[in-house]
Structure 1
């Protein structure tokens, strides 16, 4: 006989206790369960409830690899202050969240069905640094995998979030209003025009002489009417009928700024911190569909884009419809929305954007954690998988910024990360050569970098950087370089011959590899390295056959591509150990030795050269030519200074001095203040004319900076064919006329032929100073440069670099002066000596161990250390 459960009031005490233990204690905080898979994420389900019910959520785990993963939405919002929180129920337990998130959950909750979403504050264990880093690497997939991203812009009343208790004062849920950006919005627009007409009706006199009160819409300034205005403005183009209708409504009572009231509501919405948050960039760009939620009003993001596009492309004089302050708000709205649109189109077309460009373009956006200034953009970068490994919240901010700089050098094959004013730093724990990614990038620097990006490949330095970080990578690099050199010599047997003197060097290197290197790697069982070293021995024999006396000897000495300054750490430690017991090793200190050397001097030299750094090579884009320099910083964390300070990282490079700064003019901060900018230009020209007798044509060319005058002036009718030598006088005359107008009238000339010069002047001088070197060479440089700074040419940069001498905490391993990086600059090319240009390298290179001493002395160079 089947037993039936006893009535509830007949339960035993034991059964009642068992029943109670199944209910979690709300006062017991929730503890996250560990994610078991690398691609696993959590999703939060917002349980249905009435407007006044507490918010209750639960979490479930899902793998992104599973094709049939449940549909979910993602949330894009601003966290708000972590010090002010509201309590929700998560997995039956009390869980604090920021006020803004609590508001979002309240407005997103459905009364009848559960809502499944991915929300970072709930779905990631924020106390687990390792999990946070792994989830950041999945962020792109999370947002692109959701059905839509919900952009939460507040409760529609104020840009500051309210407490839940304030919302719950209303016992009845507010009415939801949806826009679709199509014909279904007709009902809303009819209500909008009716409300405008009623509010615009002028007050009429009554029989007793008083005026009848104006009929107004109760909520004309509400979020709903502001969305209606955006919907109206987004109709393809602002037609004349629509414009006339707005003007008539405004003319009914000029004292009643109806449109301005709605624009003020738009301004409040734009004050929401979401518009300045760094994470929303990725969240918006990679998502399939975006929906905007502001209080109870919802619309597709496309409605915002339509309104911004219509306003920015319209030929209508908006001042006849809106007041000046309202026009500024609308212009700001357009810039914000269209920047998302443009980046989305670029990202979709090119499958990403350059990481350096992203860091520069979005440097003004805010992040609570300074590491997020980098992490939030990783998923948007071209070849993003190469950068995602940087995401680790276990590393310090300084370590993340330095690792980002190294990775950008590795991927960009250049030192273009030094573009701009590197001295503008918020942090003091960074080396000067590491950009502070938390600092706002100067607008002038950003525009110049953006303008020059498409030209960098053509006008960049002949040298290209490649980072070599492993033992195998070093030997592979040497083998590739020697192969390229051999191939070049075989193709040009009469033009390129190695000096006879190098036969001995090839023999010595061949024997050294056989005695030390091969034996070392065989004992380690590194078969791949043994094969590579044997390949280098074979190349030594082949290259030796091309050694002969001839005129090519002097050419060889001038070309740095023939020498690589890298050494293999493990290999040279082995050489050092053999030198201590009297076995043969190369002596690179003594110029008198041709072959080998015995003794402690060699051991001491090798001890100084034990590698504690990463190696950078320089390659030309076209011929894959390379020279290897040191990209060096200390890795031995056990070494400390006597006073207990840890040694700072530094970078060691070859440099070519161009001059010392002897004068620096005032800085032009911005062209917003035109009077001040023109006054500064006049002071620059006046000083340098008196100082060096500079002709105004040269001064004009310097003021235009990196501008390609040939390309700039080709578009003007007056100087058509300006690239020809016969047109030089025409160009100079135009430059003089332009500069005289600027100096005398403190204004830009209206002549269409000179308009490109006006734009070039603003681009070249914003945020910069004009300076002079000790040889009277003029240039434009970063605003923080001072008298005494030095300008040098470094391999891997398209522009000269401004460096500042400093006295670092040095040791015996530093064999040159130390500097801090200030930033890049522009020098007047007509003043530059040809001998100061980097020589055009040959395709191919050799390790320094092979090179005779006299061949290592090429072009005026100096090893420097950058701290």
Structure 2
């Protein structure tokens, strides 16, 4: 571990020694010196001392990203906190300071006997009682770990599964010898010791003070496994030893030590993901033994390679431990490499992939991943420990929708929640994302490729953002039409719609004058009025409204705007309105109420009445009623959205939990088939397409063939193979080892794991989340690449609701091969128009309706 020079007492402007001062409250005698800059952090210096000396530390201030000749070097610590109820006292700035037992152990082993050690350690460098500071430091976490010389991964003392108190660690008053591996030629002396210990392990005279199960020898074993020559030597030695004595297992004790190391909570923490990925270099510290993280990667890569068979020298139970070690280590390697290539990953992918990792604070299930996300600066603003868990989860859901322009956050089973204070449309980020859902999301590459929704969402949070979106969409449409005016014409009768919309904008312009941001709003609205006049000149296409829906260049759907509004109680709205009245005395109470209805109701009902989607909270209210009921409780957030109904669920089969028990899985599918065979018009290939989730396969000609009733000669072999495969499924025969069945087998497992088969009222088959039930409804919503299962619910009576209310259950696969034309989504046009400009007949043709999701 690289050491730094002792800090000086000189005031340099870059580094200032901070003192923890006394506060008046005797129960809370210390407080942290307030950080002054936005990029300022604290560093802790562990003072040198002997093994039995008390641990003493100092704090100093450091500014990230400041160019200076006198660069402050520091390392960072990645560890598991441990129980906060059991603490040890260390000395911080000359005063006792409680830390968890695990951190006390880490400080003991990290302290140098001669030189001070400068580090960043979250529990000491952040004022944990200051929620605002915690949130700001979270936003700097990526810079903190990437700015350190290296991160030290502390995996315990190497002897005990649970950390011991300092008095127990120091028992005997003799410091353990510090040993370092380098993963190069400097490790030769360690390897020689290992070979000697391995040879002597079977001898009764082997000294008990050097057991082969020690952490030191475990690291020796990992070093050997990471080198091809040394591994070959180990295999030869083990074969000779076990040949003379088959029961001899000298490596079993070392693998048991590895198992204890893997039980350290560090491997399950959510924060370590970011700490490991963004750091320059990682060093592993297990008690007195240190090695570079690359040594772990070398060992895991060798063990997982096809050229090395673990069963040759390890027993079956030991092989399982080694396989788990490989998965853990290589997952960090792959994540680090991917992050370096792309400098970020979709936030939704991160939340799903690491949902199984643990966090003491449930908000950290989101905060720990913010720095790794694409467009991380936009997501980092979500980090606030002053917000409740429910508020953080909902804000994260909205921001993911804003960034992805889709509702792919609804993939999987959303009814599976640990928390009860979340709306149905907000995923519970603290719940473990089921493996089947995760694999399907990964396979379909959320937000990309052929599974991408034709409908797009743009979430806006203000009136100004909305008008900007309208202007940009209409401008794109105009450019598209001007490219080829002969083929790019609008229906003749739409000129009336453009005139009506332009007259509506006159009212909008009047209200813009009364707003503080009047200049921006007025210019944008005036631009839209000019676009209405220009586009009206292109309305010369002589087709009927019925033909308009089928026109290849025009449809009722395209890039859609989404409104997100926080729901306020009526008393809160009244307070906001009163504030607005103080700014403009020309409005009376009645006029203020009308203005509020204009901004909310007219904006949604008229300008957005037929929009692709409007996530918003329309709220009509009576000021007098609000005064009579000022304490009306806050309602849950909801949003409104346009939808196309596919059908009502009339049958739900048993859930197929897992394919680990193949007989049970085939039994479940057999039950599904028994119901399908009784349905009118049953066809084996249609059922197979449903079971495979619409998977496609490559033919010998390298073309992609979707599973369907295919009669031409080039597809005849695929159809025959499909029918043969389905016979296996229906007869519950295992075909896992048949090479030609492998693609179909893999597609079946991917599509069905964790799901149920269901049928709609028109006989359409599908696969859906395990929590769906009869009478659920399946709909297509803007921004989704697959149909969504919704459940009707009866919320409290609300006069602002003009449609049915639902809860989101999750996404599903639906076989639409036999569906009518109204269930087939039209192609979007490249621009966008507010749907008030679109004729009403289109909405009737597509049977769209507004629904409310709670």
Name the TM-score, length of structure 1 as normaliser: 0.86
The aligned counterpart of 1:206 is none
Query: Separation in 2 of the partners of 1:49 and 1:757?
Result: 65
Equivalent positions of 1:170-185 (< 5 A) are 170-185=172-187
The aligned counterpart of 2:199 is 197
Query: Separation in 2 of the partners of 1:568 and 1:318?
Result: 55
Q: Secondary structure at the match of 1:403?
A: helix
1:391 aligns with 2:375: no
Of stretches 334-343 and 238-247 in structure 1, the one that deviates more from structure 2 is: 238-247
1:324-344 residue CA offsets vs partner (Å, 9 max, x unmatched): 110000000000000000000
Equivalent positions of 1:430-449 (< 5 A) are 430-449=422-441
The aligned counterpart of 2:132 is 130
Identify which of 675, 695, 710 aligns with 1:707. Answer: 695
Query: Separation in 2 of the partners of 1:820 and 1:718?
Result: 36
Q: Is the 8 A contact 1:234 1:307 kept in 2?
A: yes
Q: Is the 8 A contact 1:401 1:434 kept in 2?
A: yes
1:707-753 residue CA offsets vs partner (Å, 9 max, x unmatched): 213x3776799999x99942232111101112223443531243322
Q: Is the 8 A contact 1:433 1:866 kept in 2?
A: yes
The aligned counterpart of 2:830 is 843
Query: Separation in 2 of the partners of 1:339 and 1:567?
Result: 38
1:299 aligns with 2:296: no
1:646 aligns with 2:638: no
The aligned counterpart of 2:58 is 58
Equivalent positions of 1:709-788 (< 5 A) are 709=697, 711=698, 725-744=712-731, 746-788=733-775
Q: Secondary structure at the match of 2:386?
A: coil
Q: Is the 8 A contact 1:154 1:295 kept in 2?
A: yes
Q: Tell me by how many angstroms 1:455 deviates.
A: 7.9
1:360 aligns with 2:368: no
- Assess, with a 3 A threshold, how the Cα gap between structure 1 residues 610 and 172 changes in structure 2: closer, same or farther: farther
Equivalent positions of 1:245-394 (< 5 A) are 245-394=237-386
Equivalent positions of 1:624-643 (< 5 A) are 628-633=612-617
Q: Is the 8 A contact 1:465 1:616 kept in 2?
A: no
Query: Separation in 2 of the partners of 1:650 and 1:611?
Result: 17
Equivalent positions of 1:392-541 (< 5 A) are 392-453=384-445, 456-514=448-506, 517-518=509-510, 520-521=512-513, 524=516, 526-541=518-533
Q: Tell me by how many angstroms 1:239 deviates.
A: 5.3
The aligned counterpart of 1:33 is 33
Q: Is the 8 A contact 1:522 1:530 kept in 2?
A: no
- Assess, with a 3 A threshold, how the Cα gap between structure 1 residues 103 and 783 changes in structure 2: closer, same or farther: same
Q: Is the 8 A contact 1:700 1:739 kept in 2?
A: yes
The aligned counterpart of 1:587 is none
Q: Is the 8 A contact 2:710 2:716 kept in 1?
A: no
The aligned counterpart of 1:808 is 795
Equivalent positions of 1:639-718 (< 5 A) are 644-692=632-680, 694-709=682-697, 711=698
Query: Separation in 2 of the partners of 1:563 and 1:292?
Result: 50
Query: Separation in 2 of the partners of 1:415 and 1:350?
Result: 23
Identify which of 212, 217, 224 aligns with 1:220. Answer: 212
Query: Separation in 2 of the partners of 1:861 and 1:745?
Result: 42
Q: Tell me by how many angstroms 1:773 deviates.
A: 1.2
- Assess, with a 3 A threshold, how the Cα gap between structure 1 residues 508 and 827 changes in structure 2: closer, same or farther: closer
- Assess, with a 3 A threshold, how the Cα gap between structure 1 residues 667 and 55 changes in structure 2: closer, same or farther: same
Of stretches 260-269 and 237-246 in structure 1, the one that deviates more from structure 2 is: 237-246
Q: Tell me by how many angstroms 1:432 deviates.
A: 0.5
Q: Is the 8 A contact 1:29 1:94 kept in 2?
A: no
Q: Secondary structure at the match of 2:38?
A: coil
Q: Tell me by how many angstroms 1:109 deviates.
A: 0.4
Q: Tell me by how many angstroms 1:422 deviates.
A: 0.6
Q: Tell me by how many angstroms 1:515 deviates.
A: 5.6
Query: Separation in 2 of the partners of 1:519 and 1:240?
Result: 81
Q: Tell me by how many angstroms 1:691 deviates.
A: 3.3
1:506-554 residue CA offsets vs partner (Å, 9 max, x unmatched): 3344344346515742774622222222212211221222234611644
Q: Is the 8 A contact 1:482 1:846 kept in 2?
A: yes
Q: Is the 8 A contact 2:620 2:800 kept in 1?
A: no
Q: Is the 8 A contact 1:423 1:432 kept in 2?
A: yes
Q: Is the 8 A contact 1:564 1:848 kept in 2?
A: no
1:328-380 residue CA offsets vs partner (Å, 9 max, x unmatched): 00000000000000000000001111111111110000000000000000111
Query: Separation in 1 of the partners of 2:185 and 2:358?
Result: 38
| Consecutive unaligned residues in structure 2, runs of 5 or more | 1-18, 566-572, 582-590
- Assess, with a 3 A threshold, how the Cα gap between structure 1 residues 539 and 458 changes in structure 2: closer, same or farther: same
The aligned counterpart of 1:588 is none
Query: Separation in 1 of the partners of 2:28 and 2:776?
Result: 62
1:201-246 residue CA offsets vs partner (Å, 9 max, x unmatched): 4x7xxxxxxxxx7776732111111111111111147754431222
- Assess, with a 3 A threshold, how the Cα gap between structure 1 residues 834 and 731 changes in structure 2: closer, same or farther: farther
Query: Separation in 1 of the partners of 2:20 and 2:844?
Result: 82
Asked which structure has the greater CA Rg, the reply is: 1
Query: Separation in 1 of the partners of 2:786 and 2:307?
Result: 41
1:58-109 residue CA offsets vs partner (Å, 9 max, x unmatched): 1001100223431000000000000000000001111100000000000000
| Consecutive unaligned residues in structure 1, runs of 5 or more | 1-20, 204-212, 578-598, 618-625
Q: Tell me by how many angstroms 1:759 deviates.
A: 1.2
Identify which of 556, 577, 592 aligns with 1:560. Answer: 556
Q: Tell me by how many angstroms 1:850 deviates.
A: 4.0
Name the TM-score, length of structure 2 as normaliser: 0.87
Query: Separation in 2 of the partners of 1:77 and 1:346?
Result: 23
Q: Tell me by how many angstroms 1:138 deviates.
A: 0.3
Q: Is the 8 A contact 1:293 1:299 kept in 2?
A: yes
Q: Is the 8 A contact 2:608 2:836 kept in 1?
A: no
Q: Is the 8 A contact 1:27 1:93 kept in 2?
A: no
Q: Is the 8 A contact 2:470 2:832 kept in 1?
A: yes
Q: Is the 8 A contact 1:200 1:253 kept in 2?
A: no
- Assess, with a 3 A threshold, how the Cα gap between structure 1 residues 750 and 470 changes in structure 2: closer, same or farther: same
